Every structure is written in structure tokens, then in C-alpha cells.
Amino acid sequence: MRPFWIHQAAEYLIGIALLAQGLQDPKPLVPSVVGALVILNAAVVKGPLGAFKWFGRGMHKWLDLGMMGVIAVAALNPWVDTAPTGRAILLVMLLPLGFLWFYTDWEDRPARKERRQATAGATGDKIGRSAGRIAGAGYVAAKQAIKKRSG
């Protein structure tokens, strides 16, 4: 799974690409608005690259699905006034959005920290116990050596 910051950065790039394509299109409204919505969607999530941090990652997961639905409707609906290049770029941008959505680690940071601490805790405790046993054995051996010398 990819870290969430990669998901956010890619969404910003996809939104910028849609916005740039819209500005070059003869009918710029739909690709420009969709690009702005994708950028806004990336900006409102509580993540490392979020600007406003209004929604958590679980809500963002569903907002992404809704955004992909809006893009599909805008690209495939014949009543939406869009140039063919705008429709094509909208359909093309669904692919990276879909891959991003599928391969993203949606866990919040505290849950991930707890998972890492649980894994590291068992190993850390085991290492600590081993170090304590070695130190104790060394102490006992040194004490016995001192007893032997002093007689």
C-alpha cells in the first residue's frame, strides 16, 4: 500500500493537469471545474499535504469514489457541453485516480503508530530482557571472580 501523502500529491497533480487541459480547451468549463474539484478534494483531507483538514481519510475515501463518479458522468454524458479532447482527458484521468484509490493505505496516522508500536514493543521487550539477563549473568560472574581472588 502507498502512503497517503503520495495519494494526495498525485491528486494535486491530476487536478492541475485537468485544470491546464481545461484552459487549453475550446470549451474549458467542465475540465476546469473538475480539475478544481479534484484539487479541492485533496486539500480538504486531514493528511500530510492537506491545506484545510476538514475530513478524515475514511471520508476522503468515499469522496474520491464520488469524484470519480462525477468525472465519469461528465465525460460520458452527451448533454454535457465538452470538447472531445476534454472528454478524453477526463476518461484518461480516471485510470490513475482508480489506481491511487485502490492502492492507498487509508489508515490514520495514530492507528499506524499504534500498529508499529505493537510490533516493535514485542521485539523491544525481548531485546530488553536478553540484555538484562546478559548483564545479570556478567554481574554474577564478576562477583564470583572477586570472591575467588579474595579467597
Per the document, the length of the chain is 151
Long-range contacts of 103-107 (CB under 8 A, 24+ apart): 103/1, 103/2, 104/1, 104/2, 104/4, 104/6, 104/7, 104/61, 105/1, 105/2, 105/3, 105/4, 106/4, 106/57, 106/58, 106/60, 106/61, 107/57
In the three-class reduction of DSSP (H, G, I as helix; E, B as strand; rest coil), residue 35 is classed as helix
The cell for 43 is: 486539500
User: Which residues are within 8 A (CB) of 87 and not within 5 positions of it... i.e. 6 or more apart?
Assistant: 75, 76
pLDDT on residue 112: 67
pLDDT on residue 110: 65
Dump pLDDT digits (tens) for 39-73: 999 999 988 888 888 888 889 999 999 999 999 99
The beta strand positions in the chain, using DSSP E, are none
The DSSP secondary-structure symbol of 1 reads -
Listed residue (94, 95, 92, 91) closest to 76, CA to CA = 91
pLDDT on residue 44: 93
pLDDT on residue 72: 94
Pick out the chain residues at pLDDT < 50.
none
